[in-house]
Structure 1
Amino acid sequence: MKWTIIRFKNLSLKWKSFLIFMILVSIPSLVLGAIVLFQTDQMLRRQAVDSTVRVLDTLAQNVTSIMENVEDVSSYMIYDNQFRKYLYGGKDQEEKEFSNLQDSIHAFSAFQIINKRYLDSIQLQGLDGVLLTIGDPVTVDESKWVHAAEEAQGGYVWSGAYPVRSTWTGEQKYVISLIRQIHDINDLNKTIGLVRIRLSESYIYSLISTKGFSPLTGSVSIVDSAGEILSYENKFYIGKTYPDPVLVKQMNEGKNLFSYSNKSGGYLVVARKIDHTNWYLVAKVDEFEIIKNLDAIRTSIKGMTLFSITLGIMALIGFYWVIIRPIIELTRITIQVEQGDFEPKFKVKSNDEIGRLGLRFNKMLRTIQRLIETKYKLEIQHKESELKALQNQIDPHFLYNTLDTIHWTARLENAKDTSKLIVALSKLFRISLSKGKLWITLEQELEYVRNYLILQKQRVRFPLYYEIDREDHLANVLVPKKIIQPLVENCIIHGFKENRESGSIEIRCTSQDGSLFIDVMDDGEGFNPQQAHSVITGDSEHGFALRNIQERLTLLFGETCGLQFFGGEGNGAHVRITLPIIHNEEAMNYRMGKG
C-alpha cells in the first residue's frame, strides 16, 4: 500500500489527473446512474402524487383566504357605525349628512373592489328603500340565496356559481356570492339590511388553474358536496352536476386520494375540502400522462449519465490545457531562469490564478533584473566616488586640526565672525565626509544645509534670511546625502539678483501617508514649472544638479519618488522632494529593491 502511494506521488500531473477523474468521476457516475435508474419508477410516481397534493393544498389555501377576506369585509359592514346609520336610511338624517355617508361607503367599497380583483360587485340594501350598488350592476334573480340568508339570521351564506348579465357590457358571466343579513348590534332581533358581495368565477378559476404549477396536476375544479360544479375551465359545466357520480360519491366518503376509471381511461384524483364550506377542490390527473412523463425522465437520466461522463472527459482535457499545461510551461521557464537566462517570459493568456501567478512571476523577473542593474550602477557610482576621493584626497584629521587651529587663532584675535565661519565650514566638511556613508539622518542633512547658509550669508551682498522647520518625529529618518543643498544653492545663484534688497529661503519637512515631503521655497525670481520638468527629464542642457537629484531618487526608490515643481515666474520658486519614511538601513535596502 505504501509503495502504491509513493508511486502515485511520483506520477506526473497528467496521469494523476486521469486517475483521479476515473476514480472520482467516471466510475461513481456509472454506479450512481444504475442505482438511480433502479429506483426511478417508485420515486417519481411518489413525487407526482406529492406534487399534486402540495399544489392542491396551496390552491385550497388561496380560495380559503379569499373567502375569509370577503367574510371580514361583510363583518366590518355590520360593526361599522357609518354603515349602520346609512342602512337606517335618510328619514332621521339631514340630506347632506346622508349624502356624506353614502360617499364614504361608496369610497370604501370601491377601494375594496379595486384592490381585491376577485370582487365583481358589492350591493347594500337597507331600510326605507336604501339601495347602493358598487361595481358592475347585474340583473339576476337571487331570491333563492336571499331566502337562505334570512334563514341564517346573520350567518354567512355562500351561493353556488350562477350566471349574471353585466349592465355595462351586456355579456353573460358567472359569479359566486356571499349574501348576509345585517342586524342592529344593539338589537340583534332587528334586521336593518342585506349585503351581497359577488366574486368573479373567472378570476377564482385563474387562481386555481394549474398554470405556474406542476403540469401533473391536470384539470382542477371546485365542486360542492351535491356534485354541482362552481368553477371549471369549460364554462359549459358551471352550475351543472358533475358528469361522473362515482367520483362525487368517493369524494363525499372522505377519500382524498383515489383512482378511478371510465371510458376515457384511468385517472388519479386528489380532493381537498375547503374550510368552512361544503366545497371541494378536485384535481384529476391522467395516469397515462404520469407514465409517459416517467418514461421521459428515465431516458433523461440515462442521457444525463452519459452526458456527465462526456463532460467529465471534456473537463479533464480543459483542466490539462488551462491548469496543467501552463504549470508545465512555468516549470520550464523556471529551469531557464535557474540557469541564469532572464529573457524568457511567461505568456499570460487569462486573468485567473494561473494568469496572475504568471504576471507575478514576470514581475519577479523584472524586479530581479532591476535589483541587479541597481546594484551594478550603485557600485559603479561608489567606485567613481572612491576614485575622485583618492584623486583629491586630503587627510581629514589634518583638515579638521588645521581648521581648529585657525578657529582658535581667530578667537584669540577676537575675530568672532571669522571663528563662526570656520566652525560652519568644519561642520560642513565633517557631515559631507560622514565616514563614507551613503545615508545620513534628516537632522544631519538639515545641519549641513544650515552651515552652508551661514557661509553663504557672508558671501552675498544683500541680507539673506532663512527658516528651517521639521516635524519632531522626522529627525532620525534616513535620507540620501546632499539632496537639499543643491536646491538651496539654486535659490541663491538663480533666484536672487545681486542688486536686490533681501532674500528669504524656507525649508519645511512634513510627512503624510508614509511619505516624507521636503519643501524648499524662496521669494526670488521663480521659474517655469514646465521648463524645470524638462530639465530633470533630460530635455535641456542645463540643470545638472536637479537632474542628478532626480536620477538618484528614482534609481534608489522608483518613480513614485523625486522632485516636483510649483509656482511660476515672478512668484518665487517652490521645489518638493518626495521620499519614503525609513528609519534603518535594512528597511532602506528593502525599499530600494522594491522600488
Structure 2
Amino acid sequence: MERILYMSLRTKLGIILACFAIIPSFVIYSQVMKTYENDMVKAASQNVQSIVKTNNNLINTTLNRIEEVSYLLLNNKDCFDCFSNMDKFAVSDYLKEERVISDVLGKQFAANDTIFAKYLYTSKWIFEANNTSMKPTISEIKRFKLDEKAAGAGGQVCWITGYDYGKWFQTEYLSKKKYYKYQYPITMVRQMNFQYSQNGKLYAMESNQERPILVVHVLESTLASLYESSVNYKGSIYAVVNEEGRIISSDNKLFPISRLAPDDILKLKPSSGYTSYWIKGVKYLLCYDTLEERNWFSFCLIPMSEVIQTTKEQMQSSQMWLTIILLVLAVIIAALLSLTISKPIEVLTKAAKRVATGDFSADTPVPRGKDFKILTQSFNHMETEITRLINENYKISLREKDTQIMALTMQINPHFLYNTLNTINMMAIMNEDYETSDLIVSLSEMLHYSFKNTYEKIPLSDEIQWTINYINIMSKRFEGVFETKLEIPDELLLYKVPKFFLQPVVENAILHGFEGITKGGILCIRAEKQEENIFFTVSDNGKGMVNMNFEDVTQKNQEGRIGLSNVYRRLTLIYGENYSVDIKSEPGMGTVFKLIIPCQN
C-alpha cells in the first residue's frame, strides 16, 4: 500500500484508467455474445442484403450507361448518311463506310470499358468496330433471329441473356469448345432509326429504308466483376437471374449459367429480403433483391455457420481494438493530467487563433517539455503542410481553368484540311472563277488562323481579320442583304483579346438579325478604349427581338450549337467578374450588343 502511495500521478492515473478500460470491455463482450447472437445474425443478414442491393444498382448503372450511348448514337450524322444511302452501295462503298462506322462506334463507346464487342448489322453487311472475335456471319444472325428480337422491341433496347453463344449462333467451331471467355455474353440489341437535325430541320430515315441493328456484347465475367469479392464470407454463392428465371451470371457450379434457377428461389421475385435456405442438408442464409427496372433477380447464399463464426470473429476483433484504443487513451490521459500544461496550452491556443485567421506562418515557439515540444512541432508541421496544399490546389485550379478554356476554344476550331482548300482555290483561279477564289481564300485564312496557335488570347488585329474573312463569306451568301461598317482604331489592334469572341456575335447578328430581310441591312462593329477597358459594340438594324439579358440569349442559342453560350462561358473563365455584357433590342428596330473587357498589351 505504501508503495502505491509513492507512485507518480501519471502511474496512478494510468493504472486506474487501464482497469476501467479492460474490465468493462471483456464483460460487455461476453454478455453481448450470449444475449444478442440472433440479433447479430439478423444484422449480418441486413448487411448482406444491402450489399446485394448495392450490386444490383451497380449492374443497372453499368447497363444504363451502354443504353445511353446507344441513344446518343441515334443522332449521328455519319451513320444517317451511310444507312440512308446503303441501297446504292457497291462492295467498295461498304468497305469505305465500314471504316467510318467503326470509327464512330469506337469514339461513342470509348469511355465505356465494360463492352467486349460492338457492331451494326444489316441484311447486306456487318459494320464492326475493330473486333472480330465475336463477329458472326449474316446467316448466323438470321438463324438466331437477332434482327427479329430487335425489331420486336420497336426501337427500344432489348437485352438477350442466359444463352450459349456458340450453340445459339450455331457456330460449329465454338460449339465444340468446352470453354471460351465470351461463351455466355450479356447482349444488347437495338434497332437504330438514325436521324439528325441541322439549321432547325430534322432529317430522319425514310420508312422503306432498312434500319440497322446495333449489337453490343458484355462478357459474363465483366458482370461478375461487379459483385465478386463484395460478400466476405467463406463458401458464399452469388448468382444473377434474368426475367425468364434463367441464370445469367454465377460464381459457383451449383448454379450453372443458362440453367433455370430453382423454383423455390424464383418464387421470391419480385420482392427483396432474406430467409433461410437448405442445400443438400446444409443451412444457408439467402439474401435476395429484385432489379425492378429489368425484372432481373440477384441472390446470395452464405453458410449459416460462417455467418455466426464471422460475426464472432468480428466481435472479437472489435473488442480487441476497443481495448487497445481504451488503453492508449488511458495512458495519454494519465500523462496529460499529470503535467503542468497551462503555459503550453496557452501558447497553442494563441497559435490556433492565428491559424483561424488564415495565417499559417508556422512560427509557434517550441517549449522545452518533451510532450508539448512534439505537439508544437507537429502543429508547425501541419501549418507548413496546409500552406503547401493550398499552393498546390491553387496551381491545380489554374491548370483546370486553362484546360476548360482550351476545350471550349477548340470547339470552334474547324475540322477540315487547310491544304485541300488551297488546291480548290488553284482550280477556281484556273477556271477564272474569281468570286469562288475569294471565298476560298477567306475560308483558308480562317482555317490557318484556327490552327496556327492555341493561346486563349491573341492580338485584336488577328481577331478582326478572322471576323472580316467571315463577313466576306457571309456577304456572298447573303449578297445585297447587308453592308458592314468597321470602326476599329489602329492603336487598339495590338491589345490581347480572347480568341473567337467576336465572330459568334457577328454570326448571331447576320443569321438572326437579318433573317427575312432582302436588302438595306447595316452591320456596325466598333471598338474604343476608355481608361483601362476596351468597349466593343456590334449593332444591326435587323428585325430585333423582345429585350432580354445576355444569359437568356445564351441559353436560347445553346441547344444544338456553340453560339453565344460559348462566348459567355469563355469570358467568365478568362475574366471572372471583370467583364460586362449588355444586349438591347426592340422588335423591328435591331439589336445592340455591348462588351467591356480589361485592356491587356
Q: TM-score band (shorter)?
A: 0.3 to 0.5
Name the TM-score, length of structure 2 as normaliser.
0.45
Give the structure with the larger helix fraction.
1
User: Of the two, which has the highest radius of gyration?
Assistant: 1
Q: Which has the higher contact order (CA 8 A, sep 6+)?
A: 2
